[in-house]
Chain A
Amino acid sequence: MNSRVYFHQLEPDYHRPVYRLTDKAKSRIRKRMKFLYGNHQMDSLMTELERLLQVYYAHKSEEMINWDSCFDPENRFTEKDVILITYGDLIRGPRQKPLQTLAEFCHTYFKGAFNTLHILPFFPYSSDRGFAVMDFEEVDPNLGSWEDILALKKDFKLMFDGVLNHVSSKSRWFQEFLNQNPDYLDFFTVFSTRSEISPDHLKLIVRPRTSDLLSEFQTLNGTRLVWSTFSHDQIDLNYRNPRVMLKMIEILLFYVRWGADLIRLDAITYLWEELGTTSIHLKQSHESIKLLRDILDAVAPHVALITETNVPHNDNIKYFSNGYDEAQMVYNFALPPLVLHAFQNEDSTKLSHWAAGLNFISPQATYFNFLDSHDGIGVMAVQGILSATEIEQMALKVLEHGGYISYKANGDGTESPYELNITWYSAINRDDGTESFELKIQRYLASRAIALVLRGVPGVYLHGLLGSRNDADAVLEEGSTRSINRRTICKKDLTDALSDKASRISRIATALLDLIKLRIHEKTFHPNAPQEVFFISDACFVIQRSALAGDEKMLCIINVTSQPQAVGLDKQKLERESDQLQDILTKKKYRFVRGKLTINCRPYEILWLKGK
């Protein structure tokens, strides 16, 4: 891994032969560009696109060119892949840039468990904790530098955010628009008056916010209204302008040069906007992702795209397309609310039924199984899986646990819950309850274990790894409900807490890291290893994973209740050859007797039963 820090050269090498797209790649890319932009200026657009690829390629070292040529996209993700999600400055120490602190901390505590770091947007920004990017090509000097980002690659693969949908109103691009620089007039979707969008068209547009769609700005030539899906400070880019697309392609390739192995396509479903449509999930948005995939496959095949779309599950998984030409990973948005539902109600039925339908996508694509992130627990994905009443009850319980609810505009004047803002620990455990500390810890670990056993690659937010409680004060101080799960942690306090074996943080982090370290050595947890969900008991989530070679099985049982549960297993139904099973967590052995075995699970117990 060490050498991969230097896989790209800082300067291009134009002595080497210039990169040429293969005919096949060129044809695919041309087809997508034609779909998006028609035939007009196609030759000049393709020429410019190929130039961008040539510039990128000239930065690749010979070592990397050789490495890429052997890269197997079907072995991109394995059981070794576990992603830690963090802001660049969640841990802060004295006399050190936060990215250096992060590198030091991750090297000491997380290496050997996590192999990938998702560093949330680390660019200069004006709001939304990094998601209103002012300059896509700079590292926020408050965090560190590009060299600090590269240094993280010594130990980890890196995931960067591609915040493609919008840009900060303070960005140079938007400022140039305000200056009415002709080069930037078409970078945004602009209206002179509100009447240019009919009420019917406005109603159609689906957005995850309740703010005005159009933000008013004074430009050199008078008042203009600009399309802003998320906030007044986050101005949507106009992808109907091919120059915007080319610019963002250049930026993504720049990220690859600085170490990105995975690129998270933030809010990508809103990328393409078109009056008279919902402006969500448009075919042009899908085609844009496919275009980016084709480009990366051509010049940087080791880089994967992961789509972040908090939308109903069936729409979400459409970002896989056929499994070979769109996202390599999709945020599994339905998982967090379904796990939460299971633990709130001590009933795994809904979770189990949904998990049973998590189909194999392709050898090149898989799910990103997360429970928490910098945002809240999205509830859009469980529309149609949970009833409106169940979603409402879940949201009310989140309020009881000290969390909040964010809403979206439905387009018809009504609003509905969009995400639940709460830390995962507080969602699972009530601070004012009378339950024992031990029970709370075990419940928390059990909930986390579900994301570790499902088909896909697991991800854990740093605050989830530490079992952080709600930062309720920050919500009021910063005026954002999402601040509840974004507390900055003092490095010394964290080090002290981790050293105190009895502390909540130490207990949770140690146990989770131990679970992950066991998991990454089990081929049955390969992202695409087959899985089968068993409906043995409502009280337990039971899933069996089988190694791709078919030579090993792992039966995972997680009691989602506060009561002991007896789980009856049938050797024949589990298709086991051997009579013996061993729990790899406790080393305890179990044996089928005449094909039957009953396991008495303690409250919230996790069992990973390995055998043939």
Chain B
Amino acid sequence: MDFSVNCDPESGRAVIICSGRLDVNNSRQLRDILNDVVARSCYQIVLDLSQTQYMDSSGLGAVVSRIADLRANGGDVRIAGAKNHVAGLFKLTHLDKVIKLFDNVDNATASFTE
């Protein structure tokens, strides 16, 4: 799993691209990244999962690991580009009722200004 982080404290927004498998071996890394961007006052986070081929329960846990803090600060985490198995996990766990899923990063980012 590779992570690419684009954090802009000025706009308070961050886009995190997760490529490959998000599982027990690297979910800790995603948690650390989220902690880091939140520490930099980026509360509007887009997780780009368009290149995520597989996710397990620990990956799912990492995705929502700061959701209460984000919303308490007027932000949120939004998902972009999740497909097939990964999108199915959000539905199966009802997380799709909590987190908004978008086709792509642009739509997810734009949703913060709507």
Residues of A within 8 A of B (CB): 393, 395-397, 399-400, 402, 404-407, 415, 432, 472-473, 475-476, 479, 481
**A455 CB to nearest B CB, Å:** 32
Tell me which of B61, B68, B92, B97 contacts A396 (CB under 8 A): B68
For this complex, 18 residue pairs linking A to B, each with C-beta atoms less than 8 Å apart, are A393-B71, A396-B98, A399-B64, A399-B68, A399-B98, A400-B65, A400-B68, A402-B61, A404-B93, A404-B95, A405-B94, A407-B97, A432-B28, A475-B57, A475-B92, A476-B60, A476-B92, A479-B92
B93-A400 in contact (CB<8A): no
Residues of A contacting B80 with CB < 8 Å? none
B89 CB–A CB distance under 8 Å: yes
B93-A481 in contact (CB<8A): yes
**A81 CB to nearest B CB, Å:** 36
B31 CB–A CB distance under 8 Å: yes
A404-B94 in contact (CB<8A): yes
B56-A396 in contact (CB<8A): no
B58-A472 in contact (CB<8A): yes
**B68 CB to nearest A CB, Å:** 4
Kindly list the 3 A-B residue pairs having the minimum CB-CB distance in the complex, ordered from nearest.
A472-B57, A396-B68, A399-B64
In the complex, per-residue mask of B42-80: 1 if CB is within 8 Å of any chain A CB, else 0: 000000000000001110110011111101100000000
Q: Is the interface of B mostly helix, strand, loop or mixed?
A: helix
CB nearest to B61 among chain A residues: A402
**A315 CB to nearest B CB, Å:** 25
B31-A432 in contact (CB<8A): yes
Residues of A contacting B93 with CB < 8 Å? 404, 475-476, 481
CB nearest to A474 among chain B residues: B57
Q: Is the interface of A mostly helix, strand, loop or mixed?
A: helix
A393-B89 Cα distance, complex, nearest whole Å: 22
A475-B94 Cα distance, complex, nearest whole Å: 11
A393-B94 in contact (CB<8A): no
A-B contact count (CB 8 A): 52
Residues of A contacting B72 with CB < 8 Å? 393
Tell me which of A396, A432, A472, A481 contacts B94 (CB under 8 A): A481
Residues of B contacting A472 with CB < 8 Å? 57-58, 60-61
Residues of B within 8 A of A (CB): 28, 31, 56-58, 60-61, 64-69, 71-72, 89, 92-95, 97-98
Residues of B contacting A405 with CB < 8 Å? 94, 97-98
A406, A415, A432, most chain B CB atoms within 10 A: A432
Residues of B contacting A402 with CB < 8 Å? 61
B56-A415 in contact (CB<8A): no
CB nearest to B62 among chain A residues: A432
A473-B95 in contact (CB<8A): no
A115-B69 Cα distance, complex, nearest whole Å: 42
Tell me which of B28, B61, B68, B94 contacts A397 (CB under 8 A): B68
**A472 CB to nearest B CB, Å:** 4
A476-B68 in contact (CB<8A): no
B94-A406 in contact (CB<8A): yes
Residues of B contacting A475 with CB < 8 Å? 57, 92-93
Residues of B contacting A406 with CB < 8 Å? 94
Tell me which of B60, B64, B95 contacts A400 (CB under 8 A): B64
A263-B9 Cα distance, complex, nearest whole Å: 58
A400-B94 in contact (CB<8A): no
Residues of B contacting A396 with CB < 8 Å? 67-68, 71, 98
Residues of A contacting B64 with CB < 8 Å? 399-400
**A61 CB to nearest B CB, Å:** 50
A406-B92 Cα distance, complex, nearest whole Å: 11
**B97 CB to nearest A CB, Å:** 6
**A400 CB to nearest B CB, Å:** 5
Tell me which of B89, B94, B98 contacts A476 (CB under 8 A): B89
A415-B68 Cα distance, complex, nearest whole Å: 20
**A403 CB to nearest B CB, Å:** 9
A386-B80 Cα distance, complex, nearest whole Å: 33
**A344 CB to nearest B CB, Å:** 9
Residues of B contacting A404 with CB < 8 Å? 93-95
A380-B111 Cα distance, complex, nearest whole Å: 31
Tell me which of A393, A397, A400, A473 contacts B56 (CB under 8 A): A473
**A373 CB to nearest B CB, Å:** 19
CB nearest to B27 among chain A residues: A432
Given A400-B64, A432-B65, A472-B57, 13 new contacts (CB under 8 A): A393-B68, A393-B72, A396-B98, A397-B68, A400-B67, A404-B93, A405-B94, A405-B98, A415-B97, A475-B92, A475-B93, A476-B56, A481-B93
**A504 CB to nearest B CB, Å:** 19
Residues of B contacting A479 with CB < 8 Å? 92
A415-B61 Cα distance, complex, nearest whole Å: 23
Residues of A contacting B95 with CB < 8 Å? 399, 404
A400-B66 in contact (CB<8A): yes
